[in-house]
Structure 1
Amino acid sequence: MTNELKVAAIVVTFNKVAFLSKNIEHLLNQDTTIEEIIIVDNASTDDTETYMTSLAANNPKINYQRLTKNIGGAGGFSHGIKTAFDNPVIDYAWVMDDDTMPRNNSLTTLLDAAHNRLADNFGFLVSNTRWTDGHAALMNVPETTSDWNDRVADNLVGIKTGTFVSFMTSRKVVSELGLPIKEFFIWSDDLEFSSRISKRYPSYLVTDSLVDHEMAKNQGVKFLEETDVNRLGRYTYSFRNKMYIERRDGHKGYLRYKISLLLLMLTLPFKSVDFKWQKERILLKGFNQGLFFKPTVEFLNKR
């Protein structure tokens, strides 16, 4: 039965053609055939367009979507999932970054979990993501549920959130609950989308579906420890988007998060960190934007 389920793989890319070419190779080598491989190119300025135009011309499974401007990972994933379900034969969207390297049986195992172990009663599934040295990829550790170990005998761990690194969901779920919020641009779009789903449907980490995430460093998001000045600006989206999520989910969490940011702004000048004053400005900007940020959830039937 799993061979009858039609899957579209969605990869969002920006200026990483070397990683993207490896990712596509891994997708084409899956034990279970992928119906469509959708590559959403956020207006890359490297050789991505040349490479993808040639590749798509010789492989009918590849659907190359080059955007006219960079709409961020959030916009790219929203566009890709919408494109996938525009194809009426697609049952599942399998979402990932361009530096995700699925193993040959990654999709087979996800589909086995979806259909055979869960009887299609799930919101989303994520793979067991490893770094290049085989250890857990720290950026992709999901938040577990209180009863996370209820299905461990089936290689399933109950989770509340997951990242867009081998993340699979169904047409049914997206039709009901909507797409990722494209206005997030980057950061927390997967957190918001996955938590929106898991509040309605049980969702799982599939421990025997392994993928490798070829990040430069195996570390989570650490604002105060950030040493790359070129990455600092994107933290604005992190603070803004998280404030929206907390505001939407309840007054207590929103109040706690606002207080935590205000305390950080007050104490940051006394900390020994790189780019102290740039970080102070980013905190203030993200906080102020988060007070008024009100994005909308787009649905498949609203085009």
Structure 2
Amino acid sequence: MSAPTSLLSEAYIIAIMVNWNGKAYLQASISSVLTELACCGGGLLLVDNASTDGSVDFVRRNFPNVTILQTGVNLGGAGGFSAGMQAALQCKKCEFIWLLDNDIVVESNALAPLLYNLATNPNAGAAGSQICLYNKPDTIQEIGAQFTHWLGGLQQCFSGQQRLPPTEPAFEVDYLAACSILIRRNCLEQIGVFGDFFIFYDDVEWGLRAKQAGWSLWGVPASVIRHQYSATKPIIPWREYYRKRNRLALLAVYSPRRGGIFASLIYLFYLNYNIYFHKWHCYQDLYHAYLWARDDALLGKMGKRDLSGLSSATVKINLECLADSDEILLDIGESPGEALILMKTILQSKPNTTFYLPEYLSHYFRFVDIPAAYLVKNKNCSTVIIGQKYHLKSAIFSAKVIGYKNGSLINMSKLDLVNDFVIRFIALLASLANTPSHWLTLRRIFKKTTCFNKYKICV
């Protein structure tokens, strides 16, 4: 149900959009936001994280009514939104703060349902939009998520499903993506702004903090935005650092309902396994990313870290490996982005190649159209390309096994496969031996921490 016109006309809303070198998105995103804000008081605050692509000049020329806050340094999404929220709270008339990504388009009448949800539910601290894909507007990216009971993961609501009609009622969630969240001022004043995460899990932690304080969060299908979401990004070491460190710290403070404190133990074991596996397989950048993520979490070090020493691998195709391969089973379970980049690179040189993907990877490719690939349950190809994560049967029943390592393709013998499994087994044993002591350190470091908001002490 949408809000009455009077609700919008009487509301004072400050929208906050964080930007870092996103000039290409700003024309569409800002235009759509300003259209929605035209019916109410307030305006748009663009927080620019020291962009170097001319974003600020572009906004000044084309959108003179947009207020710009220049941070002077890249604070990440967490720091940028926090700076914007603090600025918005300085405005005494501001009743609601609307957080938005810079790579979105707000569909018509997206704001009214969010406002109506908060106006009619006094316990609602925030309401979030139905987020659909930018180029596939009938496909849902997510409408919030639930914090899973055992492992403390995020189960995205309606992800990959058909877009819900506006008649669908709002529902309670544990987390709302900062793509589009309308926050009640009283809630923000009580629990504070985002924690010092730089990127990743800042909005997750904020949502859990809000719920811990007694507020509810709501996903609102009647409000729709479209997001330039990329499900095909490869694994990038510096991003992995923040993902792993922030999730480990999050689980040390917020225990899932049934897994309790042991969720952080299990995740720390998983992280330790990745450290040993990548070290002994000579994935140097990922090894250091995971090692630093663990060590910084164990020291309680959050915020931005200098990761300039980490690089991103590029694909270096050895065509000799694929000379006689027109049908390839691609079993790269660590990232759909890695698999898609590899497929596109091979197709440039071998356009008639047909790729097959194991059925267990279907979830990873729910947002992607793959015309040259087929999901199969049982398919014996003469050639299989395996990544860091793969099914054993893929390698055993293929005549030629090619490993995808550090952006390169490498022929693998049966002895190489045996060596790989020996490394995995030893990494497992090393993780079992070292994780308990690391976990006790983690528990001690975060024992008195109840939230990550460095601007407001939470007890």
Please state which band the TM-score falls in when normalised by the shorter chain: 0.7 to 0.9
Say how many residue pairs are matched. Answer: 279
Rounded to whole Å, the distance in 2 between the matches of 1:267 and 1:155 is 46
Answering whether residue 201 of structure 2 is matched by residue 188 of structure 1, we say: yes
Answering whether residue 295 of structure 2 is matched by residue 285 of structure 1, we say: no
**Which residue type is aligned with residue 133 of structure 1?**
K
Deviations 1:90-130 (A, max 9, x none): 111100110011112010121122213x2x32021110000
Match of 1:70 in 2: 74
Q: 1:8 to 1:300 in 2, by over 3 A?
A: farther
Asked whether the equivalents of residues 19 and 47 of structure 2 are also in contact (C-alpha less than 8 Å), the reply is yes
Match of 2:124 in 1: 122
Match of 1:24 in 2: 30
Match of 1:134 in 2: 137
Deviations 1:188-230 (A, max 9, x none): 1111111111232121100110100023x246xxxxxx636xx
Match of 1:44 in 2: 51
**Aligned counterpart in structure 2 of residue 160 of structure 1, from 160, 168, 174:** 174
Answering whether residue 247 of structure 2 is matched by residue 242 of structure 1, we say: yes
**Aligned counterpart in structure 2 of residue 90 of structure 1, from 83, 90, 94:** 94
Answering whether residue 185 of structure 2 is matched by residue 171 of structure 1, we say: yes
Q: TM-score, normalised to structure 1's length? A: 0.83
Match of 1:223 in 2: none
Q: 1:136 to 1:270 in 2, by over 3 A?
A: farther
Say which structure, 1 or 2, has more relative contact order (CA 8 Å, 6+ apart): 1
Answering whether residue 23 of structure 2 is matched by residue 12 of structure 1, we say: no
Unpaired stretches in structure 2, ≥5 consecutive residues:
1-5, 149-156, 158-165, 256-260, 303-451
Comparing 75-84 with 25-34, which one deviates more in the overlay?
A: 25-34
Match of 2:263 in 1: 253
Rounded to whole Å, the distance in 1 between the matches of 2:21 and 2:140 is 22
Match of 1:222 in 2: none
Q: 1:135 to 1:276 in 2, by over 3 A?
A: farther
**Which residue type is aligned with residue 137 of structure 2?**
G
Q: CA deviation at 1:268?
A: 4.5
Indicate the SS of the match to 1:244.
Answer: helix
Indicate the SS of the match to 2:293.
Answer: helix
Q: Higher strand share goes to which structure? A: 2
**Which residue type is aligned with residue 115 of structure 1?**
A
Indicate the SS of the match to 1:144.
Answer: strand
Asked whether the equivalents of residues 269 and 276 of structure 1 are also in contact (C-alpha less than 8 Å), the reply is yes
Comparing 32-41 with 85-94, which one deviates more in the overlay?
A: 32-41
- Matched ranges for 1:288-303 at <5 A: 288-293=295-300, 296-299=452-455
Rounded to whole Å, the distance in 2 between the matches of 1:294 and 1:123 is 29
Q: 1:23 to 1:153 in 2, by over 3 A?
A: closer
Deviations 1:224-279 (A, max 9, x none): xx636xx42122111111121111124322212211211233445688xxx94322
Question: What is the aligned-residue RMSD (CA, Å)?
Answer: 2.7
Match of 1:198 in 2: 211
Query: Which of 1 and 2 has greater Rg?
Result: 2
Q: CA deviation at 1:168?
A: 1.3
Structure 1 runs of 4+ aligned residues shifted over 6 Å read: none
**Which residue type is aligned with residue 239 of structure 1?**
K
Asked whether the equivalents of residues 20 and 98 of structure 1 are also in contact (C-alpha less than 8 Å), the reply is yes
Rounded to whole Å, the distance in 2 between the matches of 1:160 and 1:277 is 36
Indicate the SS of the match to 1:264.
Answer: helix
Indicate the SS of the match to 1:29.
Answer: helix
Indicate the SS of the match to 1:172.
Answer: helix
Match of 1:212 in 2: 226
Rounded to whole Å, the distance in 2 between the matches of 1:300 and 1:287 is 25
Indicate the SS of the match to 2:124.
Answer: coil
Q: CA deviation at 1:145?
A: 7.2
Rounded to whole Å, the distance in 2 between the matches of 1:34 and 1:27 is 13
Indicate the SS of the match to 1:162.
Answer: coil
Answering whether residue 238 of structure 2 is matched by residue 233 of structure 1, we say: yes
Rounded to whole Å, the distance in 2 between the matches of 1:154 and 1:121 is 20
Q: 1:135 to 1:154 in 2, by over 3 A?
A: closer
Asked whether the equivalents of residues 32 and 105 of structure 1 are also in contact (C-alpha less than 8 Å), the reply is no
- Identity of matched residues, %: 22
Indicate the SS of the match to 1:123.
Answer: strand
**Which residue type is aligned with residue 202 of structure 2?**
D
Asked whether the equivalents of residues 130 and 224 of structure 2 are also in contact (C-alpha less than 8 Å), the reply is yes
Match of 1:100 in 2: 104
Q: 1:256 to 1:300 in 2, by over 3 A?
A: closer
Q: TM-score, normalised to structure 2's length? A: 0.56
